[in-house]
Homo-oligomer: A and B are copies of this chain.
């Protein structure tokens, strides 16, 4: 499981460091290469291959004769890349993905349990500035909708 938040940079070549703690976890208990894809809210999701394969299975089982299914598949896969860590523990973010996620020079890397999220620093701050609901209130809303109970 990935936890924690890190502030890193993206260099001229589009490379960014995977936090050392995540590197170790990946090397110890996950399959490589990694899969980098455009997730929700304009940030990138980074999955170890074993986690990604579960998503792929569902994606590829959908009916290709349905135009909306094709569109859904393409929308996800057009912004999906396999990436390898280099020996310094960095990955390259392709120009396409950088553009889609609006990624500039500074990024925030967040451990989100099964996946790692990579945000453009500014977008990250905006997101949290706009969504200043208290944890208590958010939890209450989910509970009201019957989404799930959560024992902390």
Interface set of A (CB-CB < 8 Å, partner B): 1, 3-5, 21, 35, 38-41, 45, 55-56, 58-64, 66-82, 94, 96, 110-114, 117, 127-128, 131, 133, 135-136, 138-139, 141-142, 145, 147-148, 150-152
Contact = CB atoms under 8 A, between A and B. Distances in A.
Q: How many copies does the complex hold?
A: 2
A147 B114 CA distance: 24
A74 B76 CA distance: 21
Nearest to A7: B96
Contacts of A78: 5, 110, 128
B55 A114 contact: no
Contacts of A147: 62-63, 66, 69
Given A111-B77, A114-B60, A152-B45, A138 B3 contact: no
B62 A40 contact: no
Nearest to A97: B5
A71 B12 CA distance: 31
A150 B55 contact: yes
A104 to B, nearest CB: 20
A135 B75 contact: yes
Contacts of A66: 147
A40 B136 contact: yes
B111 A5 contact: no
B58 A138 contact: no
Contacts of A141: 68
Contacts of A117: 74
